[in-house]
A and B are shown apart, each in its own frame.
Chain A
Amino acid sequence: MSTAVVSTSAALGRHIVFDAEAVPEPRPFSMSGVTPASRLSVRPAPEMVPSGIAAIDELTGGLPRGCLTEICGPASSGRTALLLAALSAATQRGEFCALVDASDALDPQSAAAAGVQLERLLWIRCGESSPQKHFSTRQKSDSTRKEGRNAENRLEQVLRVTDLLLESGGFGVVALDLADLPPQAARRIPLATWFRFRRAVEPTSTVLLTLEPQPIAGSCSSLVMKLQADSGCYLSKSPLAFSPGRIPITEISHVPSHAQLLDEIEIKAELIRSRLERKPVGSAAVAFASRTAWADVKAG
């Protein structure tokens, strides 16, 4: 009978001796049901598609297919401009897109001006005049509670509709516009829901976009961008330009209002998180301008 030293316990400072024949042969990993890390296939990098804004593409490499992308920022920060640019680029590529509009806030004229092919855009307007609302009793209540209940109803509609759209498949972009929802309502979306959306969209070539005031999907999102209007620089660059952050009203009172024109907003886009590059992104940021539809007319 032969003996062999098969293990050393440094912590105990002694050698443990086993009978070599009594020690079972280590089973291959595949037989034990665990795949060794060396055999794990590396998840392929998602295909990136243009966002429709060159600066954003430089910053992020585009929008990833099969992933959840969050675009967040306060009001007038250019979120909708970015969304419409992405929809425009997708529809011009020949893809069909869906917009789940939680607040029924889409302006068709803006969408058309951004170049969105409207016949390729499925617009779902969540709101109050749904069948559920129709059957509900109309009782007077305070406005805050009513608003909160409406937000919850809209949110429920958004989630159910998104589930259906992702299950149906075939859309190039599915966008969830939660930008006008109260943050407390948006934060009530369980993380499991985002995880489900992410799993549903992963094997597809759909870009799942969400617009919201703050990031809410946690680690389920592959790309998080924060937009912010450049303070005081989003108005016309003409000599009559006014920076509301810097100049008090009294100083520009001599400028007649009809001589002013909102022609562009300068936007700063910051990359908050990207799981695509497998490294910390730091504080990468770019700036771009969104122009109003009538600015080109004026320039022309």
Chain B
Amino acid sequence: MPFACIYVPNFPVAALLRAEPELRTQAVAVLEGKPPLEKVWAVNEKAGRIGIAPGMTKAQAQLCSELALRPRSALQESSAHAALLDCTQSFSPRVEDSACDTALLDLAGLESLFGPLPTIAHRMFRRAADLGLVVNVAVAASADAAWLAARGLPGVTVIPLGKEAEPLGPLPVEVMFADGLTATQKEKSEQLLATLDRWGARNLRALAALPDVALSERLGQAGLRLQQRARGTASHTLVPLEPALVFEEAMELEHPIVLLEPLAFLLNRLLEQLCNRLAVRALAAQELRLTLELDYRAGASDESDDLIENRGIPRESDAPHQEEKSGFAQNPPHNNQHFSSTRQNRFCRTLRLPLPMLDAKLFLKLLQLDLNAHPPGAPIVKIHLAAEPSRPRSAQGGLFRPPSPEPEKLELTLARIAGIVGENKVGSLELLDTYRPEGFRMRRFVAEAEQKKSATGQKHDADQKLNSPWLTDTAETKSAITALRLFRPPLHATVTLHDSQPAFVVCAKKKDVQGDVLWKAGPWRISGDWWEREAWAREEWDIALQNENGVALYRLVHDLLGGAWFIEGTYD
């Protein structure tokens, strides 16, 4: 049964380079510890060549001008680890999460799907590279052999069955001990290594050649097991992992970001990483959650505010109030007063998509439009982006089905339109179960082909219309419906009554709407919601007034609770 192992060498640096790919050409050192006692934790090859080594202090490392120093980030490492698991899960469901930098997977049965083992190994290598990780991939008949080969041999290694000893032999004994050990385990392993070193067993071949009985007498079962692993004959039971579908990327910033443009640059990078991870798992995003940690320094608020205003990030209190129905929602919801008084450090935006989508550029544009409309209001020190995964939509467009807007394009268009007219001014209508005037609410517009009718019913209708379009359509709409055009807000009118009926109307706001009432019908009395605070009661009149273009019909409303008269609309 073949196994594969993917190992990320120098994991802290690899995680950093995945987040900041532009550092790949530079000497990089990762710092660990609390300031000012920071020490170099890991370095890349270029940094090693110029003399930087783990354990040096930050002050020592800073003497080298071309060295890029970055603090160790748990967020970046967890993202890199998640990407590693996504890479393995895209090949096999049986994956063991051996360590933060190592994953083992069972390749049994995959040859018919992906090709021979070397092809699978190379595809793994390329896919990891697509996810921003430079890895070692090893394939062997046993899990332990694959594990050792991945940790000891760079690039892609495929070990044929029964020939494990040859490639593994020259590897140093230290390869057998994982990095992330506890203090006790580390002490034991150091003792064991010292013993083996005294015996002259400095590589796996020498360890494999030691006599079994003598080794057992001196080191016990642990020694025998080490030897079996060195020979590549140890059996390892794979413990498959079922990772939760969590897609998150985060970035901590050394210097706070004030402008939205560099933020967009970083968001683009995070979105591309997220989309790549989703793509390798054959998933799409249904929802994106952006969390920004803001920098409200105590005592520097005024200065910060000035900085924000001068640099281009307007304050949150300047932004229009957003509503959830538009697809964007702030989480947790807050109003401006709450925001300014508590100075909360988190700014959350949620982008709910009508359909599962996977397009980093589209997401970036949507987030940009949203952040332009709802700016964070303070310098940003940390970016966290999470995606809610969903199955990608699989819709087959019919040849005879009417065209509909492309969902990705429509979403972007709606976001842009919302930026022009306001978020609560775009959408589709939903009538409410009430007689109250303006008894409707705006809903999010979703261009889904199948909404109410079943597929069969719609096909039947489409076929029928295809055969005789004129007959069906003209039969459906034989007469037009007189529409009311509303004035929003209603026009306040001064009405002269004659026998308790409107006889003369003057509307100050609209000069056309005034004069003798030529004809009237009514009143039609309606009321409602008397059991609530917002009770309403009104009389409606249909009146005809003369204007310069002829006679126009209006709806005149008498508010019985307030006593005022309004022109609500015109019949057209």
Give the interface of A toward B (CB within 8 A): 50, 52-54, 57, 74-85, 88-89, 92-96, 103-115, 118-127, 129-131, 134-135, 143, 157, 160-161, 164-165, 167-172, 179-180, 205, 213, 228-229, 231-232, 234-235, 242, 244-245, 249, 252, 257-258, 260-262, 264-265, 267, 288-293
Residue of A nearest to B517 (CB): A249
Asked if A80 contacts B572 (CB within 8 A), the reply is yes
- Give 1 or 0 for each of B384-419: 1 = CB within 8 Å of chain A CB: 000000000000000001111110011011101101
Residue of A nearest to B400 (CB): A94
Chain A residues with Cβ under 8 A from B561's Cβ? none
Asked if B547 contacts A111 (CB within 8 A), the reply is no
Asked if B426 contacts A122 (CB within 8 A), the reply is yes
Query: Pick the contact of A290 from B482, B519, B523 — CB < 8 Å?
Result: B482
Asked if A74 contacts B552 (CB within 8 A), the reply is yes
Asked if B518 contacts A143 (CB within 8 A), the reply is no
Asked if A82 contacts B480 (CB within 8 A), the reply is yes
Name the distance in Å between A119's Cβ and chain B's nearest Cβ. Answer: 5
Q: Any chain A CB within 8 A of the CB of B425?
A: yes
* Known A52-B477, A131-B373, A249-B516: A164·B417 in contact at CB below 8 Å: yes
* Known A130-B422, A293-B481: A123·B413 in contact at CB below 8 Å: no
Stretch at the interface among B182-190, B222-230, B427-435: B427-435
Asked if A107 contacts B480 (CB within 8 A), the reply is no
With A164-B420, A249-B517 already in contact, 18 other A-B pairs whose C-beta atoms are closer than 8 Å = A80-B572, A92-B473, A93-B402, A94-B449, A95-B402, A105-B488, A105-B569, A108-B429, A110-B481, A124-B421, A126-B421, A131-B373, A131-B420, A157-B421, A161-B417, A169-B403, A257-B522, A291-B479
Asked if B522 contacts A258 (CB within 8 A), the reply is yes
Q: How far is the CA of A80 from the CA of B426 in the complex (A)?
A: 20
Residue of A nearest to B413 (CB): A168
Asked if A170 contacts B572 (CB within 8 A), the reply is no
Asked if A129 contacts B465 (CB within 8 A), the reply is no
What are 15 inter-chain pairs, A to B, with CB distance below 8 A? A78-B572, A92-B476, A93-B402, A104-B486, A107-B483, A110-B484, A115-B477, A115-B481, A119-B443, A157-B421, A164-B416, A213-B549, A262-B553, A290-B483, A291-B481
- Give 1 or 0 for each of B94-128: 1 = CB within 8 Å of chain A CB: 00000000000000000000000000000000000
Chain B residues with Cβ under 8 A from A114's Cβ? 480-481, 483
Asked if B428 contacts A119 (CB within 8 A), the reply is yes
- Give 1 or 0 for each of B307-345: 1 = CB within 8 Å of chain A CB: 000000000001010000000000000000000000000
Range class of the B interface residue count: 35 or more
Asked if B481 contacts A76 (CB within 8 A), the reply is no
Q: Any chain A CB within 8 A of the CB of B445?
A: yes
Asked if A112 contacts B431 (CB within 8 A), the reply is yes
Q: Any chain A CB within 8 A of the CB of B218?
A: no
Chain B residues with Cβ under 8 A from A172's Cβ? 402-403
Q: How far is the CA of A131 from the CA of B487 in the complex (A)?
A: 21
Cβ < 8 Å to A, chain B residues 450-479:
451-452, 458, 461-462, 465, 469-470, 473-474, 476-479
Name the distance in Å between B266's Cβ and chain A's nearest Cβ. Answer: 25
- Give 1 or 0 for each of B558-572: 1 = CB within 8 Å of chain A CB: 000000000001111
Chain B residues with Cβ under 8 A from A120's Cβ? 428, 451
Q: How far is the CA of A239 from the CA of B544 in the complex (A)?
A: 18
Asked if B431 contacts A180 (CB within 8 A), the reply is no
* Known A50-B470, A53-B477, A168-B410: A109·B403 in contact at CB below 8 Å: no
Asked if A257 contacts B541 (CB within 8 A), the reply is yes
Q: How far is the CA of A50 from the CA of B420 in the complex (A)?
A: 32
Total contacts A-B at CB 8 Å = 263
Chain A residues with Cβ under 8 A from B416's Cβ? 164
Asked if B422 contacts A170 (CB within 8 A), the reply is no
Q: How far is the CA of A94 from the CA of B410 in the complex (A)?
A: 17
Chain B residues with Cβ under 8 A from A104's Cβ? 425, 486, 488
* Known A76-B553, A160-B420, A179-B572: A290·B480 in contact at CB below 8 Å: yes
Query: Pick the contact of B481 from A85, A134, A171 — CB < 8 Å?
Result: A85
* Known A77-B572, A93-B465: A288·B480 in contact at CB below 8 Å: yes
Chain B residues with Cβ under 8 A from A180's Cβ? 485
Query: Pick the contact of A234 from B426, B481, B549, B553 — CB < 8 Å?
Result: B553
Q: Any chain A CB within 8 A of the CB of B255?
A: no
Q: How far is the CA of A213 from the CA of B427 in the complex (A)?
A: 26
Asked if A134 contacts B413 (CB within 8 A), the reply is no
Chain B residues with Cβ under 8 A from A129's Cβ? 422, 425
* Known A96-B404, A169-B409, A261-B521: A76·B429 in contact at CB below 8 Å: no
Chain A residues with Cβ under 8 A from B519's Cβ? 235, 242, 244, 252, 260
Q: How far is the CA of A192 from the CA of B484 in the complex (A)?
A: 32
Q: Any chain A CB within 8 A of the CB of B242?
A: no
Asked if A108 contacts B431 (CB within 8 A), the reply is yes
Chain B residues with Cβ under 8 A from A94's Cβ? 401-402, 449, 458, 461-462
Residue of A nearest to B478 (CB): A54
Q: Any chain A CB within 8 A of the CB of B199?
A: no
Q: Any chain A CB within 8 A of the CB of B550?
A: yes
Q: How far is the CA of A124 from the CA of B424 in the complex (A)?
A: 9
Name the distance in Å between B490's Cβ and chain A's nearest Cβ. Answer: 12
Q: Any chain A CB within 8 A of the CB of B509?
A: yes
Asked if A75 contacts B422 (CB within 8 A), the reply is no
* Known A74-B550, A76-B551, A80-B485: A124·B544 in contact at CB below 8 Å: no
Residue of A nearest to B500 (CB): A257
Asked if B445 contacts A122 (CB within 8 A), the reply is yes
Asked if A108 contacts B440 (CB within 8 A), the reply is yes
Cβ < 8 Å to A, chain B residues 526-542:
541-542
Chain A residues with Cβ under 8 A from B571's Cβ? 76, 262, 265, 292
Chain A residues with Cβ under 8 A from B373's Cβ? 131
Q: Which 3 A-B pairs have the closest CB atoms?
A: A170-B405, A74-B549, A80-B483
Asked if A52 contacts B473 (CB within 8 A), the reply is yes
Asked if B552 contacts A291 (CB within 8 A), the reply is no
Asked if A244 contacts B485 (CB within 8 A), the reply is no
Q: Any chain A CB within 8 A of the CB of B346?
A: no
Q: How far is the CA of A245 from the CA of B445 in the complex (A)?
A: 44
Q: How far is the CA of A77 from the CA of B176 in the complex (A)?
A: 88
Chain B residues with Cβ under 8 A from A93's Cβ? 402, 465, 473
Asked if A244 contacts B428 (CB within 8 A), the reply is no
Q: How far is the CA of A117 from the CA of B420 in the complex (A)?
A: 25
Q: Any chain A CB within 8 A of the CB of B447?
A: yes
Asked if B520 contacts A75 (CB within 8 A), the reply is no
* Known A161-B420, A229-B551: A262·B542 in contact at CB below 8 Å: yes
Chain B residues with Cβ under 8 A from A161's Cβ? 417, 420-421
Q: How far is the CA of A93 from the CA of B473 in the complex (A)?
A: 8
Name the distance in Å between A236's Cβ and chain B's nearest Cβ. Answer: 9
Chain A residues with Cβ under 8 A from B569's Cβ? 105, 107
Q: Any chain A CB within 8 A of the CB of B501?
A: yes
Chain A residues with Cβ under 8 A from B547's Cβ? 74-75
Q: Any chain A CB within 8 A of the CB of B512?
A: yes
Chain A residues with Cβ under 8 A from B474's Cβ? 50, 54, 57
Chain A residues with Cβ under 8 A from B451's Cβ? 119-120
Q: How far is the CA of A110 from the CA of B478 in the complex (A)?
A: 16
Q: How far is the CA of A232 from the CA of B546 in the complex (A)?
A: 12
Chain A residues with Cβ under 8 A from B401's Cβ? 94
Asked if B419 contacts A291 (CB within 8 A), the reply is no
Q: How far is the CA of A125 from the CA of B417 in the complex (A)?
A: 10
Name the distance in Å between A126's Cβ and chain B's nearest Cβ. Answer: 5
Chain B residues with Cβ under 8 A from A293's Cβ? 481-482
Name the distance in Å between A45's Cβ and chain B's nearest Cβ. Answer: 16
Asked if A75 contacts B549 (CB within 8 A), the reply is yes
Asked if B572 contacts A76 (CB within 8 A), the reply is yes
Residue of A nearest to B462 (CB): A94
Q: How far is the CA of A103 from the CA of B487 in the complex (A)?
A: 8
Asked if A130 contacts B420 (CB within 8 A), the reply is yes
Q: How far is the CA of A126 from the CA of B483 in the complex (A)?
A: 19
Name the distance in Å between B521's Cβ and chain A's nearest Cβ. Answer: 4
